[in-house]
Chain A
Amino acid sequence: MPQSATGNDCDLAIVGAGVVGMALAHGAAGAGARVTILDEGDRAFRASRGNFALVWVQGKGVGLPPYARWTLGSSDLWPGFAAELEAETGRRLHYDRPGGVDVALDEAELEERFSGVERLHNAEPRAAAVEKLDRRRLQKLLPQIGPDVVGGTWCAADAHVNSLRLFDALHEAARLRGAAYRPNARVESIEPLADGFRLVTQAGEMRARRVALAAGLDNARLAPMLGLSAPVKPERGQVMVTEKVQPFLRHPMSGFRQTDEGGVMIGYSNEDRGYDSGQDWRTMARIAANAVRVFPQLAQARIVRAWAALRVMSPDGYPIYERAGSGPPAYVVTCHSGVTLAAAHARILGTAIARDAWPTEDLAPFSARRFAHG
Chain B
Amino acid sequence: MARRIAQPARMVALTIDDARVEAGEGDTVAAALMLAGLDRWRATPTSGAPRGLYCGMGVCFDCLVTIDGIASRQACLTPVAEGMRVETGAGKRRLEPKR
- Hey, which bits of chain A sit against chain B, CB under 8 A? 143-144, 243-246, 248, 261-262, 296-298, 300-302, 304
Contacts and interface: CB of A to CB of B under 8 A. Distances in A.
Interface of B: 45-46, 61, 64, 71-73, 92-98
B72 A248 contact: no
A144 B95 CA distance: 10
Contact of B95 (A143, A261, A301, A304): A301
A373 B64 CA distance: 57
Q: Which 8 A-B pairs have the closest CB atoms?
A: A297-B95, A243-B72, A246-B94, A296-B98, A244-B45, A245-B93, A302-B72, A261-B46
Interface centre among A245, A248, A298, A304, by most chain B C-beta atoms within 10 angstroms, is: A245
Given A244-B92, A245-B92, A262-B92, A297 B46 contact: no
B46 A245 contact: no
A261 to B, nearest CB: 5
Given A243-B72, A297-B97, 12 more contacts: A143-B97, A243-B64, A243-B71, A245-B92, A245-B93, A246-B93, A261-B46, A262-B92, A296-B98, A300-B95, A301-B93, A304-B61
Contacts of A296: 98
Contacts of B72: 243, 302, 304
B10 to A, nearest CB: 30
A297 B64 CA distance: 20
Given A244-B45, A244-B46, A261-B46, A297 B92 contact: no
B51 to A, nearest CB: 12
A261 B61 CA distance: 15
A248 B61 contact: no
A27 to B, nearest CB: 32
A302 B72 CA distance: 7
A245 B96 CA distance: 11
Contacts of A244: 45-46, 92-93
B76 to A, nearest CB: 14
A77 B22 CA distance: 61
Given A261-B46, A262-B45, A304-B61, A246 B98 contact: no
Contacts of B97: 143-144, 297
Contact of A248 (B46, B64, B95, B98): B95
A329 to B, nearest CB: 45
Contacts, number: 42
B61 A246 contact: no
Contacts of B94: 245-246, 248
Nearest to A243: B72
Contact of B98 (A245, A262, A297): A297
B46 A262 contact: yes
A217 B3 CA distance: 53
A144 B71 CA distance: 21
Nearest to A146: B98
B60 to A, nearest CB: 10
6 contacts: A244-B45, A244-B46, A245-B93, A261-B45, A300-B93, A301-B93
A340 B97 CA distance: 32
A261 B45 CA distance: 8
A3 to B, nearest CB: 41
A242 to B, nearest CB: 9
A302 B93 CA distance: 10
Contacts of A300: 93, 95-96
Contacts of B93: 243-246, 300-301
Contacts of B96: 297, 300
A241 B71 CA distance: 16
Nearest to B45: A244
Interface centre among A261, A298, A300, by most chain B C-beta atoms within 10 angstroms, is: A300
A161 B82 CA distance: 45
Nearest to A304: B61
B46 A246 contact: no
B18 to A, nearest CB: 23
A67 B64 CA distance: 45
Nearest to A305: B61
Nearest to A244: B45
A298 B92 contact: no
B49 to A, nearest CB: 13
Contacts of A301: 93, 95
Interface centre among B64, B71, B95, by most chain A C-beta atoms within 10 angstroms, is: B95
